[in-house]
Structure 1
């Protein structure tokens, strides 16, 4: 039934060489890092990864109303601070690259965390509390209006005298968005510009400055937001 067939080639048998030997101990644990510096770098990158994942879950929980606004604000603020603190290290920042690159490298899908990291402040600060609206016509309201007005003036004065570093402007802008949200829950002209500039400043390094064109545009947008804020109060 079977016939002898000749192969077109003659397979060469494998003959192991006695000189071959393992170069590593297979029972030895493989380490990612060999120095303290490398270990610290990997620890920081791992912490950033966990922060992004945790922040995304937190944002989902907030949208589903499964966490109180106070707990959300506290936890979100802490995560954002930890994220920025890790990236303040030049070595970590260089290895991290940017958020989109890091997400691609580690196959991460965290759209809600991505948006929150872009803005740099909790949703409760950006949009104001959702559980209650602003109260009108009281002495407390008058105090809040004065505080918001002073925040606008402080920011615009800082721009006029050339204080256009990120670490100067960003806190002042956060104060403004918090102050106006305490006064009114209504949208007003150029309020969106405040958030847009928060995003722009949040992407900058602490010591980076706005250039002349950016500074002029920023000042113009903040003036328009201030006028929009005052116009809204007159309608209420």
Structure 2
């Protein structure tokens, strides 16, 4: 009995195409993994201590890959729809929030480390405002500063989740997440961000307890 010869079916024709499909697979895996991690955290299957570093790593990997694929995959939501991924929690975490849920909703009644956290916030506010004055407007320059700032704000126990500074910074992170790393803020966007940061900084200072 003769057997038909089995031939390998290739999706690519050259090295460049193979790399593209490998990147597609990586993007698919990151989105799926993030969705599973989000559900596991909500269901208390993984602890906050395990969740936060894992989620931060996935967000960082996603941003790196998103930049590399910006010309091929300009719309990640469309990519997810094309491959029928059904991962709303992951897309929200990766494209909108940009930070782990533990950071986004962090609250604590402990005063330990408050002074250090306040000092961090002041440092990141001033650094960000100064950077904009120096026309550091590229997304890969602005995004890390906004991320550092929201992480610092989350450590200050007296700030509520709806504190205007947190809300504004999260809005900017979400906007930056939809841009590629090489893009730059327009002068109008930079002016608005400067205004939002100054307003948030003033609100932050006013929220601090007054010394007697």
**1:34 corresponds to:** 13
Rg bigger for which structure?
Answer: 1
**1:194 corresponds to:** 169
Is 1:111 equivalent to 2:84 in the alignment? no
Q: Distance in 2 between matches of 1:207 and 1:96?
A: 15
Shift of 1:235: 7.8
Superposed CA RMSD in Å reads: 2.1
Kindly report which structure 2 residues correspond to 1:108-187, keeping only aligned pairs within 5 A, or say none: 108-118=85-95, 119-128=97-106, 133-136=108-111, 140-184=113-157, 185-186=159-160, 187=162
Structure scoring higher RCO (CA < 8 A, sep ≥ 6) equals 2
Is 1:52 equivalent to 2:31 in the alignment? yes
State the TM-score, normalized to the length of structure 1.
0.79
Shift of 1:166: 1.3
Which one of 188, 213, 231 corresponds to residue 188 of structure 2?
A: 213
Larger CA deviation: 145-154 vs 92-101: 92-101
Shift of 1:178: 1.1
* Closer, same or farther: CA 94–179 of 1 in aligned 2, 3 Å: same
Q: Which runs of 5+ in 1 are unaligned?
A: 1-24
State the TM-score, normalized to the length of structure 2.
0.87
Q: Which runs of 5+ in 2 are unaligned?
A: none
Shift of 1:134: 4.3
Query: What are the superposed Cα offsets for residues 192-234 of structure 1, whole Å, 9 maximum, x if unpaired?
Result: 1110001111222222211111111111111121122222223
